[in-house]
Amino acid sequence: MKIGKTGFIVGGVSILFVGLAVVFLDGAIATNEANSIMVVQLPIVGTLNWYTTPGTQMSWWGRVTRYPKREQFWFSSKNDQGEHAKDESLRIRFNDGAGATISGSISWEMPMDVDHLNKIHSKYGSPEAVTKQLVRTVLEKAVYTAGPLMSSTESYAERKNELLADIQEQIDLGVFETETQPQRVKDPMSGQDKTVNIVRVKLEAGKPKHAVESPLKEFGILTYNLSMNDIHYPEEVEKQIAMQQQAIVGVSIAIAEAKKAEQAAITSAKQGEAEAAKAKWAQEVEKATAVTSAEKLRDVSALAVETAQNEKKAAILRGEGEAAARKLVMTADGALDKKLATYERVNGLYAEAIKGYGGSWVPSIVMGGGSGGSGGGNADAVAGSGAQQLISLLSAKTAKDLSLDLSVPKMSKEEK
């Protein structure tokens, strides 16, 4: 199949048309990615059109610039971090004169409003310029100002996190307004007092006062996630810090041991006081027990005395009662029962004595006259009457001794 001259002309025109279309469209449209912000500066008029959402837009052959929505800035000493395979760490100097370098990173984020975007683009014109001329310089100034707020030893240990917080606050709000004051401190190495210049942050309403506002705040750029992966001290500073740490540890140990000894002394004293108190209370308990026992004995003795007194009173009262009763009985009958009993007993004893007596109760010869009969018969009669007379005399004597009246009283007329 042969293509004529006309076919070549049509084909050439078509190719030219397509090429012109491609050239035309290439300058007329631009595509924005999801993670970027695109600005188009229109030709001739210079108007800036911002696009924060992804998609293809008409650029009208204007100048197209893209900014990342979020970027990570590295100031690292590690070769595998950051855009350049070199040490990009930041220098810092502390209030004891020792220097070091800080390695880490910080994230920054572009604003989304047109006013801040226009200001950033008109001043810096590219994301590279924003990173180097704005973010890095603000970070360097914050690090430079935070260094004098502490010593190298403090940054190495107890105030390391505070250093990071001071840098972050100055990046966000502006550098601190500070004042320098001389102060006498003890050198941890030599133990001698020395004068050092202490930099302190001025406070306003209890919060750090900032000398100027942060440029990042002026342009609406936000920063976050500041981190440090290393603080590198020169070798001589490392040795000095190590020696200071050892000295501080030694002092801490000595203080701890002193406090431990002091606490042991306090504990011992308290234990002694406790033992003394315990012994004292034991004595008090013993004393109280003895007092209680003595009081008990006293009360028992007093009760016994009271009981004896009561018994004595009772015995006296009983004796007095019995005596009064006997007195009344004797007054009533003259103790007749007892007198008769005594009288009967005495006479019984007399009778018993006479009964067993075998001798003569009267003399054998009696001088006196008598009527007739032999003498013997008269003697027996007298003998018998003599015993009877003796008994009568003894009975009379007994009745007299007992005041016993054996006569039967005569009845009065009234009794008859």
- Same domain for 58 and 27: yes
* Domain edge (last residue) among 233, 260, 282: 233
For residue 238, CA distances in Å to 153, 161, 225, 241, 300 come to 9, 19, 28, 5, 89
Q: Are 110 and 117 in contact (CB under 8 A)?
A: yes
Same domain, 162 and 180: yes
Query: In this predicted model, what pLDDT tens digit does every residue of 204-259 receive, in sequence order?
Result: 999 999 999 999 999 999 998 999 888 998 888 778 777 777 776 776 777 778 78
Looking at residue 18, what is its pLDDT? 53
Query: Strand 90-93 to strand 222-232: parallel, antiparallel, or no bridges (unpaired)?
Result: unpaired
Q: Say which residue, 413 or 157, is predicted with more confidence.
A: 157
Residue 327 lies in a domain: no
Residue 240 included in any domain: no
- My answer on whether 134 and 55 are in the same domain is no
Domain residues for the domain of 47 are 5-67
382 pLDDT above the threshold of 60: no
pLDDT, residue 379, reads 46
Residue 309 counted as domain residue? yes
Q: Are residues 52 and 81 in the same domain?
A: no
Region 342-354 average pLDDT: 74
User: What are the tens digits of pLDDT across the range 148-196?
Assistant: 999 888 888 888 899 999 999 999 999 999 998 888 877 665 667 877 7
Name the pTM for this structure.
Answer: 0.53
Q: Provide the CATH number for the domain around residue 187.
A: 3.30.479.30
With a cut of 50, say whether residue 383 has pLDDT above it: no
Q: Please report the pLDDT score of residue 412 as a whole number.
A: 58
Least-confidence region, from 45-49, 149-153, 282-286: 282-286
DSSP 96: T
CB atoms within 10 A of CB 305: 10
Task: Name the more confident of 283 and 10.
Answer: 283
Residue finishing a domain among 233, 257, 280: 233
- The alpha carbon dihedral of 164, 167, 171, 174 has a sign of positive
Domain annotation covers residue 274: yes
338 and 294 assigned to the same domain = no
Report the C-alpha gap between 33 and 51 in whole angstroms.
10
98 occurs within a structural domain? yes
Tell me the per-residue pLDDT of 82-132, one tens digit each, with 9 for 90 and over.
776 688 899 999 988 888 999 999 999 999 999 999 999 999 999 999 999
In the chain, the number of structural domains is 4
Task: Say whether both 105 and 140 belong to one domain.
Answer: yes
In the predicted model, is pLDDT for residue 12 greater than 70?
A: no
Residue with tokens 């000398």: 211
Does one domain contain both 150 and 220? yes
Secondary structure element (H or E) that encloses residue 66, with its range: strand 63-68
Q: Are 180 and 125 in contact (CB under 8 A)?
A: no
Q: Among 261, 293, 318, where does a domain finish?
A: 318
- The answer to whether position 395 is within a domain reads yes
What is the DSSP secondary-structure string of 166-181? HHHHHHHH-PBPEEEE
The candidate with the shortest Cα–Cα distance to 154, out of 130, 188, 182, is 188
Cβ burial, residue 342 (10 Å; 0-12/13-18/19+): middle
Rg (CA), the chain: 72
Pair 308, 287 in one domain: yes
Q: Does any domain span residue 13?
A: yes
Residues 314 and 345 in one domain: no
pLDDT of res. 294:
82
User: Is the domain of 122 the same as that of 200?
Assistant: yes
Alpha-carbon span 109 to 68, nearest angstrom:
8
- What is the pLDDT at residue 110? 96
Residue 116 lies in a domain: yes
- Residue 339 shares a structural domain with residue 300: no
The answer to whether residue 136 scores a pLDDT higher than 90 is yes
The end-to-end CA distance of the chain, in Å, is: 209
Regarding whether 88 and 206 lie in a shared domain, the answer is yes
Other CB atoms within 10 Å distance of the CB of residue 381:
12
pLDDT of residue 183: 80
Q: Which token pair is 164?
A: 């990071």
Among residues 407, 397, 402, 409, the alpha carbon closest in space to that of 341 is found at 402
Measuring CA to CA, how many Å separate 192 from each of 62, 189, 200, 250? 71, 8, 23, 16
